[in-house]
Amino acid sequence: MTIQQLKSNKNTKGIKTASLAVLLSLMAGCSSSSTEQSVSLKAAAAAIDSSTRSLTTRGITITLSGVLAASQLQDGRWEVSPETYAGVLVVSHTTTSGTIGSVINSPGKAATEVQTQSAIGKRVTIGDVLLVASTFPGSPNCNEMTAIHVVPWLPSPDHIVGPALGAPNIFNKFLRTNAPIGPLDLSRLPSIVNIDSLPVAWGQFGKGKPTFEWMESQIGFLGDVGDSWGLTAMPTAQVNSYGRNLACRVSQALVMCCSTAPAEQKRKLATRLVQNGMDVLGAFLDGRTQEVDGGHYQGRKALIVFSLHMLGIPENLWPIVLQNQFQEDLAYGDLGPLAWQPSWRYGWRGRHRNRHYWNLSPSQWDDNQREKWYVLNYCHGNVGPQIGTALAMQLLGLQHHFGAMTGFVGQWMTGPNAAGIQALSAAGITGLPWGKDFSFDKAEDFCAAAWVKYHK
């Protein structure tokens, strides 16, 4: 971007040419003329009203010095460019209630108690991310969280930023500093699902029709520190952190992104999903691993796969982060024809440390390992929230990244035949809601109805 372009950009109002020259010298891959290079940092600082800014996200206010320009993104976080290579200084942070803390470059592979640490007095340099979290008195987890991304370009509210989570390793550093991301190419979204045509009794309790405005309110700043474990977990005022519930929201949102709604109506929701995917991508690039434990951990893989797709990252690079390490990979398996239901071949388990057992007769499922108990108490809470995801990935042409999970979803939607039901009943397994999706407060039956009508 040239100085002339920057001058005419609406986001540069109030920033003088001297400051723009310094900003250009910070941009990756950009060069300046000898005249521009001679502009002093002192002159750049004088070119704006003040280098100290107080940035507010809901109940959190963060004061930084050394700020050249700042822009708030749609989920409340901030993109900030510094005056100099020294970065910005964290002066203070406050919250309207409870306690508050902060950390720079929170590791993605272990829970970090953000609200018990302090980055005040420290510098956040280009490629770094400052996380700030607040906690209600007596609560173990944060209620609010936001991030400050320090970048080498002019901030814009239309940007998607690099990962908020994870140490600045070579991958995260590249994603945070290589180039501004966005706006999204909405032509990558299919226009297939006609929500109004689905046979759902929207007026009944729990079956409220999903709208884009409602869904956008459910997909907030993920702040997925610790993968729902540890003190911080995720900001409860912005997202439901439990894996089952997160997967449910992601599933519903993905189906809406594949709907026949106008493309621009999908932009905000798609952007939220991509930003969430980018954030957790950083955690897994930093070494996070997953496991299978009841209803925990679900929903992260879909966010990352959708993000990689929407950003146009070549699929041959995806294995760098995917690596078959997600709950959706570990919980499901292709076991060959099942002894008690030969037309089926896919199984599910409630803990990845335990064996796969759906290939065995239900009478052989081990009570000591709680294999039947997991099926009765957690199977619906795993497969039900993934029905919309499995459908959306098929409509996006990405179903090969969810092979066994998609296969199990298909089995769940058809249910076992009479012989299969008899085998399950004889082992004490009854009452499974075959063909039902899972939604914890709204849009029940939405994803299941979409699957029935549009799955191929």
Query: What tens digit of pLDDT does each residue of 422-453 get?
Result: 999 999 999 999 999 999 888 999 999 999 99
By residue count, the chain amounts to 456
Q: Is 393 exposed, middle or buried (0-12, 13-18, 19+ CB in 10 A)?
A: buried
What pLDDT is recorded for position 240? 84
**Among 389, 383, 388, 380, which Cα is nearest to 431's?**
380
Most confident of 6-10, 96-100, 190-194, 237-241: 190-194
Q: What is the C-alpha separation between 106 and 130, in angstroms, rounded?
A: 8
pTM: 0.88
**Among 138, 71, 62, 65, which Cα is nearest to 101's?**
62
The answer to whether the beta carbons of residues 362 and 372 sit under 8 Å apart is yes
State the average pLDDT over residues 337-356.
96
What pLDDT is recorded for position 452? 98
C-alpha gyration radius of the chain: 24
What is the pLDDT confidence band of residue 9, given thresholds at 50, 70 and 90? very low
Please give the residue that has the higher pLDDT: either 89 or 168.
89
pLDDT tens, position by position, 85-139 = 999 999 999 999 889 999 999 988 877 788 889 999 999 999 999 999 998 888 7
The chain-wide mean pLDDT, for the chain, equals: 88
The answer to whether the beta carbons of residues 235 and 142 sit under 8 Å apart is yes
Query: How many other CB atoms sit within 10 Å of the CB of residue 10?
Result: 6
In order of 119, 202, 373, the CA distances from 392 in angstroms are 41, 21, 30
Greatest distance between any 2 Cα atoms in the chain: 84
Residue 378, both tokens: 């957690």
Q: What is the C-alpha separation between 303 and 384, in angstroms, rounded?
A: 17
State the average pLDDT over residues 74-94.
96
In order of 25, 35, 228, the CA distances from 186 in angstroms are 32, 41, 31
What pLDDT is recorded for position 228? 54
State the average pLDDT over residues 254-259.
98
What pLDDT is recorded for position 20? 32
Structural domain boundaries of the chain? 3-177, 184-456
What pLDDT is recorded for position 338? 97
What pLDDT is recorded for position 232? 67
Q: What is the C-alpha separation between 299 and 219, in angstroms, rounded?
A: 12
Please give the residue that has the higher pLDDT: either 167 or 69.
69
pLDDT tens, position by position, 287-338 = 888 889 999 999 999 999 999 999 999 999 999 889 999 999 999 999 999 9
pLDDT tens, position by position, 18-53 = 333 333 333 333 333 333 333 333 444 444 446 999
Most confident of 74-83, 226-235, 236-245: 74-83
Please give the residue that has the higher pLDDT: either 49 or 408.
408
